[in-house]
Amino acid sequence: MNQSKCRVCRGPAVIDLPRHNANFCAEHLQQLCRRQVEKAIHDHDMLSPDDRILVAVSGGKDSLAVWDLLAELGYRADGLYIGLGIGTYSDTSGQYAQAFADERELELITIDLRETYGYDIPTASKATGRVPCSACGLSKRHLFDRAALDGGYDVVVTGHNLDDEAAVLFGNTLRWDIDYLARQLPVLPAAEGFPKKVKPLVRLTERETAAWCIVRGIDYLLDECPMAHGNRHLAYKEALNAVEARSPGSKAAFYHGFIERMAPLLADRVDAGVELHRCESCGSPTTGDVCAFCRVVATASTHDPVPVEVVLNKAARKAYLAQMQEIS
């Protein structure tokens, strides 16, 4: 069998990237990833060299890769891990985040939802009747903002990659949800009560961030969140992957075409007509009297703890229990 060769140096390749119509060795794969991240940062004015950066890290490949890439590119970046209390998934993800930080002597701030706010995501889901991912997303967004503002950080970085963003875009487009589309940008500027938020991995696919972790020797949690099993977001990813397999480069064209040509047309819809004031309880910006996060805390922290299996649908529970058996 022919050993495929790196496009740049003609040495043995470790990965083929059909969307670039090329193969790459470990060194030139890293060069490609670095360049794509630098280009995203530059094109969208994401970061300045002096920024104090807070990277939201989940222990998965994307957020560890982006933290590693930013450190490599010379940025000052601390990590923030939120313990969501999603059974062993959360315990393990926290260990990966901490091990990464320890090995590289990076600062990791940890917030445990149950310890600090008296609830976890399965309990919040049951107590409030929200789907788990909604209770989770709302809690994470609030805590990212709060930690960044309290800690004096200039910007919050998340590990959303091209696959994530294209899947969300696909979902928003299927529903023609114009307000979500208008806000689906790789940079959200700082506003009263909100830090700046950026996604430096929007030019890398999840296969590329996984490859980055492998060639850099980064251990990351492979498992998906058990609550995400079978959700719509994964269905959109699968649909886009089917298109990508037939027509490499489609995913990037879909997303970047939107950002370059469509998003500017929606600019006046961003935050149009929303009047915000301070939450009576925590001071965060909100449209009501008390913010959604404080309402979740009030309801969920007085509810008996609910184990993760209870809030999973049938298929997700089956997958979760199988995973547990593998671990034990």
Residues linked to residue 144 through DSSP beta bridges, in sequence order: none
Out of 28, 160, 196, 197, name the contact with ligand AMP by CB under 6 A: 160
Neighbours of 39 (CB within 10 A): 13
Q: Return phi, psi of residue 87, to 5°.
A: 50, -145
> Taking a C-beta distance cutoff of 8 angstroms, is the pair 162, 151 a contact?
no
Which residues have C-beta within 8 Å of that of residue 56, sequence separation ≥ 6?
63, 79, 80, 82, 140, 144, 156, 157, 158, 159
Q: Does 279 bind ligand FES (CB under 6 A)?
A: no
Residues 77-96 that bind ligand AMP (CB under 6 A): 80-82, 84
Nearer to ligand FES, 120 or 244 (CB): 120
Nearer to ligand FES, 6 or 201 (CB): 201
- The type of residue at 175 is R
- The type of residue at 277 is H
Q: Does 228 bind ligand FES (CB under 6 A)?
A: yes
SS3 state of residue 286 = strand
Please give the size of the binding site for ligand AMP, defined by CB under 6 A: 14
Exposure of 1 by Cβ count < 10 A (0-12 exposed, 13-18 middle, 19+ buried)? Answer: exposed
Q: Does 56 bind ligand AMP (CB under 6 A)?
A: yes
SS (H, E, C) 32-60: HHHHHHHHHHHHCCCCCCCCEEEEECCCC
The least CB distance from residue 160 to ligand AMP, in Å, is 5
Q: Does 138 bind ligand FES (CB under 6 A)?
A: no
Q: How far apart are CA 82 and CA 90, in angstroms?
A: 9
Q: Does 63 bind ligand AMP (CB under 6 A)?
A: yes
The single-letter DSSP state of residue 223 is S
From Zn ion, ligand AMP, ligand FES, none, interface partner of 227 (C-beta below 5 to 8 A by class):
ligand FES
Q: Does 136 bind ligand FES (CB under 6 A)?
A: yes
The least CB distance from residue 220 to ligand AMP, in Å, is 11
Q: Return phi, psi of residue 56, to 5°.
A: -80, 115
The least CB distance from residue 225 to ligand FES, in Å, is 3
Stretch that binds ligand FES, among 32-40, 130-138, 192-200, 207-215 (CB under 6 A): 130-138
Nearer to ligand AMP, 32 or 80 (CB): 80
Neighbours of 155 (CB within 10 A): 23
Out of 60, 83, 132, 186, name the contact with ligand FES by CB under 6 A: 132
Nearer to ligand AMP, 26 or 54 (CB): 54
Q: How far apart are CA 306 and CA 166, in angstroms?
A: 33
From ligand AMP, Zn ion, ligand FES, none, interface partner of 294 (C-beta below 5 to 8 A by class):
Zn ion
Q: Does 159 bind ligand AMP (CB under 6 A)?
A: yes
Over the window 81 to 110, marking each residue x when it contacts ligand FES by CB under 6 A and - when it does not, the resulting string is ---x-x------------------------
Burial 129-138 (b: 16+ CB within 10 A, else e): ebebbebbeb
Chain residues in the site for Zn ion (CB under 5 A): 6, 8-9, 11, 25, 28, 279, 281-282, 284, 291, 294
